[in-house]
Structure 1
Amino acid sequence: MNVVMTIAGSDSGGGAGIQADLKTFQELGVFGTSVVTALTAQNTMGVHDIFATTSAFVRSQAAAVFSDFPVQAAKTGMLASSEIIRETAEILRMQDLQLVVDPVMVAKGGEQLLGMEAVRDLREHLIPLSTVITPNIPEAEVLTGMKIHNENQIAKAAEHLLELGANCVVMKGGHVDDPDFATDAVYFENGHSFKMTTKRVRTRHTHGTGCTFSAAITAFLGQGWTVEESIVAAKQFIQLAIEQELGLGSGSGPTNHFAYRKSKEKCEVEIIEA
């Protein structure tokens, strides 16, 4: 069985973080392992407390998994400090695997979750190891120092991230002001690019969408799919998870991680080649 890993924070509400990742892995038929970087007390209304693990404990968890499991692909999510980012990069540098970096650094309210030293360490140590990086627009702005308001600026930001060493950049379009469609732009280091478009779903149940999307990419990569195949299939997975909401919680509720196997033939992702 194919084995994958998530290196991320725990969400006590189960909608994001390692809980969302492990649900996604299970749904897509891969064996999920985890390295917990932080414990959060949260629900659909928000984050109430955070307890970061130490970088030494991050290393202990990763060493335990890598010494016993053949991990084919991994993803990173919330990395709470510079020390954890550097430790994670050092650990992953020694492994032969596909890496998806979900640069969790901006809260839903717009607050930056990482200090500038941690952002710099992410840029210098982790992005160069990535097979795919999946920033939304606010995260791409922090990583590049650019303001992003249009398609040309999205392309320039992606080019900057590719120059940092990423093999592929998925610029997620959930924050783009389009009332009808959600469009992600995908750029490869070889110059190939395309866009993925789905109908925008009007719902408050979007907690953990970024975690789930990057976990789905990881799961498909871990099964030997190409990068492009993995990204397109992950777009289909998250679209269905949003469309078939569970209706849980009083705030930004979780997506439905169980929708894909039942309904994947009903989801259309339009691919627009550049």
Structure 2
Amino acid sequence: MIQTERPYVLSIAGLDPSAGAGILADVKVFEAQQTYGLAVATALTIQHDASFRKVHWVSLEEIIAQCEPLFERYPIQVVKIGLIESMSVLSGLLDWLVLQNPKIILLWDPILKASAGFDFHRLTLNELVPILQKLTVITPNIPEIQQITGEQDPQKAAQTLSNYCNVYLKGGHSSSENGQVTDYLFDIHQTVIAYPAPFIPNGEKHGSGCVLSAVLATGLAKGFSQKEASARARLYMDRYLASTPYLLGFHETIV
């Protein structure tokens, strides 16, 4: 017998020993948002909140081997994917996940560079299109979407990606205007929704991109629409970024 009071959400991402990012941070979010968090490691990282030193990648075969007993046991409807070795590994993983559940909701946070300064990937749009077509939503920040598309205007870049899947564009890397920063949802139906938020001094957090996409995953797992889940994610981030003046934040429940 398994619990059925909370939806199961699976994070497939890197293991960050500081728990500010990756699967440890994701599971904190899942618990705070009253879902049941599961986790599979794609990489073992040697880092803390201010320094990234090394990464050991987990093979696609071993990632799937970790996933298999979870899918055999639990009704997983939503998967959030983070740090991944390559697009070939990501593509193979997405194909396997869809075979387990053709209606599964798949989010990918395209981590191209660690917040402490370490480059993982350099992608092109041509490489990414087949991946996007398998996803429900992608959650890039401004530098990531500029790199992926080659387009310097982040909103034009997001519009391009939204031809293939929903895009939640994180605005934290933009300069604040009138004391605000704005995230945007570009959905696959070509609707654009802005989520303005107050600029928070000393609000920079290690792993904030991971946290945002994890909150978004919980909203979708609880049955909220993409629009509603995005609004909830932005609200959560406002509180998370303001929770401490340090690089590691605290999590609280937003029901």
Provide the TM-score with structure 1 as the length reference: 0.84
1:146 aligns with 2:151: yes
Map 1:75-90; keep pairs closer than 5 Å: 75-90=80-95
Structural RMSD (CA)? 2.0
| 1:102 partner amino acid | D
The CA deviation string for residues 212-232 of structure 1, in whole angstroms up to 9 with x for no partner, is 010001011111111111010
Map 1:52-63; keep pairs closer than 5 Å: 52-63=57-68
Change (3 A) 1:113 1:209: same
The CA deviation string for residues 14-55 of structure 1, in whole angstroms up to 9 with x for no partner, is 100111100000000111111210011111221122111111
How far residue 115 of structure 1 moved from its aligned partner, in angstroms, is 4.2
Moved more, 72-81 or 84-93: 84-93
How far residue 204 of structure 1 moved from its aligned partner, in angstroms, is 5.7
The CA deviation string for residues 133-164 of structure 1, in whole angstroms up to 9 with x for no partner, is 111011101221222xxxxx23311121122x
Aligned mate of 2:174, from 151, 173, 176: 176
Change (3 A) 1:144 1:110: farther
Secondary structure class of the residue paired with 1:197: strand
Match in the other structure for 1:254: 248
- Aligned residues with identical type, % of pairs: 27
How far residue 82 of structure 1 moved from its aligned partner, in angstroms, is 3.5
The CA deviation string for residues 48-90 of structure 1, in whole angstroms up to 9 with x for no partner, is 2211111110111122211111011111110122342122122
CA contact (8 A) 2:162 2:190 kept: no
Rounded Cα–Cα distance in structure 1 between residues aligned with 2:18 and 2:116: 18
Q: What is the number of residues matched between the two proteins?
A: 247
| 1:178 partner amino acid | S
Rounded Cα–Cα distance in structure 2 between residues aligned with 1:194 and 1:87: 32
How far residue 124 of structure 1 moved from its aligned partner, in angstroms, is 3.5
Match in the other structure for 2:195: 196
1:107 aligns with 2:105: no
How far residue 111 of structure 1 moved from its aligned partner, in angstroms, is 5.4
Match in the other structure for 2:138: 133
Rounded Cα–Cα distance in structure 1 between residues aligned with 2:203 and 2:238: 14
CA contact (8 A) 1:246 1:256 kept: no
Match in the other structure for 1:206: 205
Provide structure 1 residue ranges, at least 5 long, that are not aligned to the other structure: 148-152, 248-252, 265-274
Match in the other structure for 1:186: 185
Match in the other structure for 1:36: 41
Secondary structure class of the residue paired with 1:225: coil
Rounded Cα–Cα distance in structure 2 between residues aligned with 1:61 and 1:124: 27
The CA deviation string for residues 216-266 of structure 1, in whole angstroms up to 9 with x for no partner, is 01011111111111010011011101111174xxxxx212113x44xx8xx
Rounded Cα–Cα distance in structure 2 between residues aligned with 1:205 and 1:184: 15
Provide the TM-score with structure 2 as the length reference: 0.90
How far residue 108 of structure 1 moved from its aligned partner, in angstroms, is 3.1
Secondary structure class of the residue paired with 1:255: coil
1:244 aligns with 2:249: no
